[in-house]
Structure 1
Amino acid sequence: MSRYENLQRITALAPDFSSGYQEVCQLIDAWSFGRYQVLLLLLCSAGYFAVCADLLLIVYIEPSLEASFGMSNMDFAFLNFATCMSSNAGAVVFGYFSDRNGRRTPFILSATIAALFGIGSMLSNSYWLLMALRTAVGFGLGGLASIDFLIFNEMCPKRVRGKATLVITVFGALGVLLMAGLNLVPWNEYLPTSEKWRFMIFIGALPMLVVCIARAFLIDESPKHLVSVERYSETIEVLKKIARWNRERFEPEADTPTLHRLSLESSSDLDISLDDIAKPGIVTRFLWHPLKAYGSVVAYNPKLAVCLFSCWLFQGLANWGLTLFLPEYLTSKGAISADLTIFLMVACELPGLLLAFCLVDVPFIGRLNLMRSLFLLAAMSSLATAFIHQQLLIVVSCCAIYFFMIPNWGVLYTYSSEVYPTEMRSTANGLFQLHSLLGGMFSPFLSGKLVDKFTANNGSQSEVDCYMLAWTSCLFVGFISSLLLRKETLTISL
């Protein structure tokens, strides 16, 4: 059969391609949440555990880094800036190649990069070497953030997708809680202050090293991605494995007849050779194609892209800006104990996530109303903190911020993975991770300047608390942006 006849054949079969994809979606939604999904949930949760633990890790090791390398607040801010920039690069690169070449390889590679360079960074003997290695860690963590929620959502039945995705966020909270708990240990009795950061980095990277090995041996390509790129035989093989693990009945001829027929035809009739297809040049492949892919996400629904990116941006600005210099802020504010207060704040993430877990799949609430409520309540808690000076109330209001703000990450990841079609879903997730590009450019330096000003005034009650008011305004803008989102994704199939 000639190349022209093959192309005609492919065009004629276009409706069947859509039917085959729908069969895969319906089959996954009909199956139970079984052992395969539990394993995938654990591996994805471990990735998000590392992402969140790293955020608080870098906050807690600041004093130790200052003792080891003589860093100033601006040096520390620049370290966070470089890590954040590389995280953006990782999200963009892994997001694009995940849609182009599949989910599995980026899923494994991002974890491997984060683990190996994380372990390596504990051996740094200079500020600049530490920055270089932590920049590489950030690149891997950016890939984790853009891939982990997505690959899990594509293999999860829609009736439990919202709740199961929030479980991943719970593991992120546990990662932060681990670091907060370790910081309460009197390490000065066991280690010199200048060496504490090495131990903390090792603890943060070790679980990821184990997980990246498990990912390589246990995880398959997403069947929804496989069918979207017309790899039908591989799709059936992955579905057979999922059915076997979950003890479900699966007969391709009966359960997915269109997909079964396409798999037979693709292995015989559709024999276009790679030599018949012009190979793009380097510039086209590595610059124009990615730019075109990210442009297609915006073109798909410009209002959706702008409003959802704004939600990500201001959630990230508030979270990172508030957290980076939180110990210094709480000390100047007069909190009972900065470290204990942060530990309690992190602990409050868990009941907050439990509340979101109960509400995210409620029909009259769904993703959007929950997102809006969490933005608004976090903003109100932050605003209250700016005007409170009584020690106990400072702890209560700070805990309320994390109670409402942190669960919103899970809602944003869930909504962003559901609202775009499979062929651009990972690219869209990579695009939204760019929110930390702007956040990383401004929040470390702005946060450092604001806390320096607040500390210089010793948290005077007569001074306006610009530190907390800045992050309050970010949360309010996030709330307004969420009001402009209109498409609820609670009941849609991926």
Structure 2
Amino acid sequence: MTDATTGSIPARLDALPLTRGHLRVLGGSGIGWALDAMDVGLVSFIITALVAQWSLTTEQAGWIASAGFLGMAIGASVGGLLADRLGRRRVFALTLLVYGLATGASALVGGLVVLLVLRFFVGLGLGAELPVASTYVSEIVPARIRGRLIVVLEAFWAVGWTAAALIGFFVIPAGPDGWRWAFLIGAIPAAYAIAVRWGLPESPRWLARQGHRGRAEEVVTMLEASPAVGRSAGIRVACDAEPPRTATAERTTARIARLWAPEFALRTLCLWLVWFCVNFAYYGAFIWIPTLLFSQGFDLVRSFGFTLVITLAQLPGYAVAAWLIEVWGRRGTLAVFLVGSAVSAVLFGTATGETTILASGMALSFFNLGAWGALYAVTPEMYPTSLRATGSGWAAGVGRIASIIAPLLVPVLLPLGGTPLVFTVFSVFFAIAALAAWGLVEARGRALDDR
């Protein structure tokens, strides 16, 4: 095959095999993703410990989770806008720094109010980081394996949540200050931000859009010179030359309005609906699972142990989704995993014995996290480069509104119908998301739109 060294930036990127350079970008972004998950996961265990230690009500416990999600809603919306203006890598590193420092400071709090304020700032960083990271990776990897690699990126979430479950199981119950040590461990992203800032390249698509053709060429040349891995070795596809595009000044309000232009309106509506419903059901369930198990009579260590086992089912969920997404496509994979999540939620809500709790909880974890992988893969593909981070960020921001509401709604629903009612509501939201998934555009194997 012809070595593609003279074409347009997007064409040259899509012509590449999978290289060690791609794996470095994927791994570097994935570590940040895992650290995000570890922070969110730790809160579910810390809430349970604080309910016992600080004698918190369920409403107060719900606010600890929702304060972080309020920050995430704002962070996701603002982070996407900043990433389209300032660059993917710069915003990615900044968000890691913000939430890492705020998490470390949380270890020193002595009361609920200060903890709520710090959780809000943690949420600002977390909310901005996730859509920026998926946009960043999607703009660098080749089109033919883009969906699969984004699911692999999302699989780092399971690694981080598993780490949180291990910390919850071994560290938090070890003493009255166990939850403080957990927060200190969660400060690691502040140090990792330095590695991200200097160790990873900027998105060449974004650089080209901004008129930095020379810097974009450097990144692509680096990837072209990087050794290929696996069956991709030696595969390069010829591509035609294309004049460089430069960005035009566009106001923030105009960029947001473009999300609702006739070309994008349906996909934006469906994407926001899926994000809202999945966030509502996922965070409503997984933030509360350790506390719900504790309230059902399991001691702290046992409820954390059950949660650890349930969490481990996330990894095979991602693995299956990563394979299916390039076989069935994005929409089909997303819809099937959402339907599986809906069924599993009902089963978990009505489970009584230890075996059925574990089995249905693992099924919920498997299908739910597979759906997350597909959702993060499809989201950046809905918009062109000039709008991609903004569109991804606002979709995530709308989803975070649901993640604010859900933890606060659980204490309201529990007296009305207990755990069965709570998880039936989550099941309905999963089902709505499955229907909305069919309004998204199928982009399997297609080149990204670089307008």
Distance in 1 of aligned mates of 2:242 and 2:329: 33
Specify whether residues 116 and 297 from structure 1 end up closer, same or farther in structure 2 by C-alpha distance, changes over 3 A only.
same
**More divergent stretch after superposition (240-249 vs 61-70):** 240-249
2:67 maps to which of 67, 82, 88? 82
Contact 2:76 2:396 in 1 (8 A): yes
Match of 1:144 among 124, 129, 143: 129
Equivalent residue number for residue 332 of structure 2: 369
Provide the rounded CA distance (Å) in 2 between the counterparts of 1:405 and 1:346: 11
In 2, Cα distance between equivalents of 1:122 and 1:111: 17
In structure 1, how many angstroms separate the alpha carbons of the residues matched to 2:171 and 2:201?
A: 43
Aligned partner letter, 2:219: V
Structure 2 partner of 1:53: 38
1:257 is displaced (CA, Å) by 5.1
SS in 2 for 1:172: helix
Q: In 1, distance between residues paired with 2:265 and 2:344?
A: 32
Partner residue in 1 for 2:422: 467
The DSSP-based 3-state class of the residue aligned with 1:298 is coil
Structure-to-structure mapping, 1:372-383, within 5 angstroms: 372-383=335-346
> Among residues 381, 387, 399, which one is paired with 1:418 in the alignment?
381
Map residues 181-330 of structure 1 onto 2, 5 A cutoff.
Answer: 181-185=166-170, 187-188=172-173, 190-192=174-176, 195-206=177-188, 208-246=189-227, 258-259=242-243, 289-299=251-261, 300-330=263-293
**Displacement, 1:410?**
1.2
1:488 pairs, out of 430, 442, 451, with: 442
CA distance in 2, matches of 1:493, 1:450: 45
- In structure 1, the residue corresponding to 2:108 is in which secondary structure? coil
> 237-246 or 377-386, which moves further after superposition?
237-246
The code of the aligned residue for 2:402 comes to G
Q: 1:380 Cα deviation (Å)?
A: 1.1
Which structure has the bigger radius of gyration? 1
Asked whether the equivalents of residues 342 and 430 of structure 2 are also in contact (C-alpha less than 8 Å), the reply is yes
8 Å contact from structure 2 (residues 270, 437) kept in 1: yes
Q: Shift of the alpha carbon at 1:140?
A: 0.7
- In 2: Cα distance, 1:140 partner to 1:360 partner: 29
TM-score, structure 2 normalization: 0.88
Change in 2 beyond 3 A, CA 1:24/1:187: closer
Query: CA offset at residue 220 of structure 1?
Result: 2.3
Mapping of 1:85-96 within 5 angstroms?
Answer: 85-96=70-81
Contact 1:226 1:235 in 2 (8 A): yes
- Find 1:353's aligned residue among 318, 324, 332: 318
The alpha carbon displacement at 1:255 in A equals 7.5
Show the 5 A alignment for 1:172-183: 172-183=157-168
User: Is the 2:7–2:240 Cα contact (8 Å) retained in structure 1?
Assistant: no
State the distance in 1 between where 2:31 and 2:156 align. 7
Is contact 1:50–1:205 with CA below 8 Å preserved after alignment?
no
Could you tell me which residue of structure 2 aligns to residue 8 of structure 1?
none
Quote the offset at 1:238 in angstroms: 2.4
Report the Cα offset of residue 391 of structure 1: 3.1
Residue 401 (structure 1) aligned with residue 355 (structure 2)? no
1:390, CA displacement in angstroms?
A: 3.5
Counterpart for residue 478 of structure 1: 433
**Where in structure 2 are there 5+ consecutive unaligned residues?**
none
Q: Which amino acid aligns with 2:304?
A: D
Deviates more, 1:49-58 or 1:152-161: 49-58
Q: State the Cα distance separating 1:68 from its structure 2 match.
A: 5.3
1:331: how far off?
A: 4.5
How far off is 1:70 after superposition? Answer: 4.4
Structure 2: distance between partners of 1:419 and 1:63? 38
Q: 1:333 to 1:169 in 2, by over 3 A?
A: same
C-alpha displacement of 1:434: 1.7
Following superposition, the deviation at residue 466 of structure 1 comes to 0.8
- Which of 422, 431, 447 is the matching residue for 2:394? 431
RMSD across aligned C-alpha pairs, in angstroms? 2.7
Within 5 Å, give how 1:127-142 maps onto structure 2. Answer: 127-142=112-127
Amino acid at match of 1:420: Y
Residues 1:359 and 1:427: Cα distance change in structure 2 (over 3 Å):
same
Alignment partners' CA distance in 1, 2:193 and 2:132: 14
Other-structure match for 1:17: none
Question: Which amino acid is the alignment partner of residue 327 of structure 1?
Answer: P
Contact 1:317 1:471 in 2 (8 A): yes
Aligned residue pair count: 433
Unaligned runs of 5+ in 1: 1-19, 267-276, 460-464
Rounded to whole Å, the distance in 2 between the matches of 1:437 and 1:199 is: 27
Rounded Cα–Cα distance in structure 2 between residues aligned with 1:218 and 1:294: 31
What SS is found at the alignment partner of 2:38?
helix
User: For the residues of structure 2 that align with 1:150 and 1:420, how far apart are their CA atoms?
Assistant: 10
Pair 440,390 (structure 1): closer, same or farther in 2 beyond 3 Å: closer
Amino acid at match of 1:106: V
The answer to whether the 8 Å contact 1:335/1:391 transfers is no
